[in-house]
Structure 1
Amino acid sequence: MEKHDWDNVFNFAKVLVLDAGDQIRLSFKQKLIIDFKENASDLVTNMDKQIEKFFIQKINEKYPSHHILGEEGYGEELTSLDGIVWIIDPIDGTMNFVHMQRHFAISVGIYHNGEGVIGFIYDVVADDLYYAVKGGGAFVNGEALPPLKSTEIGKAVIGINAAWGIENKRIDSSITSALIRDVRGTRSFGSATLEMAYIASGKIDGYLSMRLAPWDYAAGKILIEELGGKISSVSGEPLQLLTKQTPVFAAKPGLHEYILENYFKK
């Protein structure tokens, strides 16, 4: 696609994201229909479904040749990332949405032949719109975010999802215990998408989770990499955007390599 076409895609996506945010805010006064997927903590609401359907309808009308991968399954079953692919999480942090009406976000990552081009993360309640265009910088509410700089392990604050520490046996608990001991602090916000936006904006220094799907990190990956940060599997391998239940580690440059080398590759 030519540059002016990407500009049009960016502007169109931005309008959709903000419109979806308006719909979600209006839903706060309505009664939610709440269900769960694999277990009682894996919630989905009528709004998750409504927002994903909204994106799909609008994208199909405007760009019928584009492909769509969405968390709630209303998009396509993709076997490749050929062409232009929108990777959408209509509400990342659904449990926060249900219980607190806070700390959740809309995530939209737009990829071209597997390469991230445009990423949006919208913190709906805070009205903070994070976005990046490959080669064009990353921003929050129109203000440019500075390139990420390395942080010493002892000064680092890392986002860690505590739930997988109980549920998941993919990593020896002594490894994560050592990491938790050595960093300045850990946090858990309940939204992988927001935690990646927080890395991009310097609020935290890294984020670790054992089981993310592509819609959890597709937009965050674009933001973090545009600012010089790193995101990979915990073994340092590139992320496979069509694979679910992926262990993901994102962090500032330098810190990312240090933690992988000194904790996960021992």
Structure 2
Amino acid sequence: MMASVKEMDTYAKRWIKQAGGKLRESFETKLNIEEKTNPNDLVTNMDKAIEKFFVDNITSTFPGHRIFGEEGMGDDIKDLKGTVWIIDPIDGTLNFIHQQRNFAISLGVYQEGIGIIGMVYDVVHDELYHAVKGHGAFMDDQRLAPLNEGSVSTSILSMNASWVTENRRIDPNLLAPLVRDVRGTRSYGSAALELAFVAAGRLDAYITMRLMPWDFAGGVLLIEEVGGEVSDIKGEELDYLLGGSLFVSKPGLHKEVFKRYLSGNTKK
């Protein structure tokens, strides 16, 4: 018998809170830290332990569901057929290691490639942002208000400084004028949190050139459920298998930013 969305949502909320408790408890212990692709791409024993926690619970509760996780403990995902849980056990591992704050657990449930459940758990602040497709977005029990239209000149933009300095993915001269023209910029080091903050109206837009699906799979549904706009940096749909660039914003900003700042081509 196919699991209901309500059932999956109930279990997901329980597990994400339990996982967050494990992460808070780990602050008192010494982390085992390893490098992945470079000295700034780190993974800890807790990243692995939390992903295993989700894998064990999902596979035992929902046999037949597949898991697409950052640490590779789930399935070898080549498509999004059936029900797929996309999980980042710690989004913002650098922050988790260095600050013990500004990190999140991100969880998205997709059926036949469509996001039906999205969650971002701000572990340290114990704030759970969550959405079921078609039913609005919430922070804990508080419904998030629909986003109002905005303009560049009155916006707070979240973007890493990498994209306005020399890099391999975009001409920094494209985005430098946008940084100059917005009211202010921020960078939190956790894509999942930045997506949640856009959905909650704490940020007006978030731009990045490089994310993996588990970075945004939980947060994108939050933004869609409050009327925000979601695309890659070329205005195209996101790739939930390979990842890529991401541009999310309150209504109106997409059109203005593409017209005034992103008419040039991104680097291949």
Please indicate the TM-score interval, normalised by the length of the shorter structure. Answer: over 0.9
Give % identity: 50
Match of 2:159 in 1: 160
Residues 161 and 209 in structure 1, CA contact (< 8 A), matched pair in contact too? yes
Counterpart CA distance in 2 for 1:170 and 1:150 is: 29
Q: CA deviation at 1:88?
A: 0.2
**SS of residue in 2 equivalent to 1:264:** coil
SS in 1 for 2:85: strand
Amino acid at match of 1:131: H
Structure 2 counterpart of 1:36, one-letter code: E
Aligned to 2:241: 242
Q: Check conservation: 1:168, 1:210, Cα contact below 8 A.
A: no
After TM superposition, the score normalised by the length of structure 2 is: 0.95
Q: Find the residue that maps to 2:14 and give its secondary structure.
A: helix
Alignment map for 1:1-266 (pairs within 5 Å) = 5-166=4-165, 168-244=167-243, 246-266=244-264
Letter in 1 for 2:157: I
Distance 1:35 1:249 in 2: 30
Q: How many equivalent pairs are there?
A: 264
What amino acid is the match of 1:98?
A: I
Q: Distance in 2 between matches of 1:31 and 1:167?
A: 36
- Unaligned 5+ residue runs, structure 2? none
Q: Following the alignment from structure 1 to structure 2, what is the Cα–Cα distance between the partners of residues 120 and 167?
A: 34
Q: Label 1:64 to 1:203 Cα distance change in 2 as closer, same or farther (>3 A).
A: same
- Partners of 1:69 and 1:263 lie apart in 2 by 34
User: Structure 1, unaligned stretches of length 5 or more?
Assistant: none
Q: What is the distance in 1 between the residues matched to 2:19 and 2:168?
A: 37
Cα drift, residue 257 of structure 1? 2.1
Calculate the aligned-residue CA RMSD, in Å: 1.3
What amino acid sits opposite 1:88 in the alignment? I
Q: Is the 8 A contact 2:163 2:170 kept in 1?
A: no
Deviations 1:14-71 (A, max 9, x none): 0000000010011010000001111111111000000001000000000111111001
TM-score, normalization: structure 1? 0.96
Helix, strand or coil at the partner of 2:217: helix
2:24 aligns to what SS in structure 1? helix
Instruction: Give 1:230 shift.
Output: 1.1
Instruction: Name the aligned partner's letter for residue 249 of structure 1.
Output: F
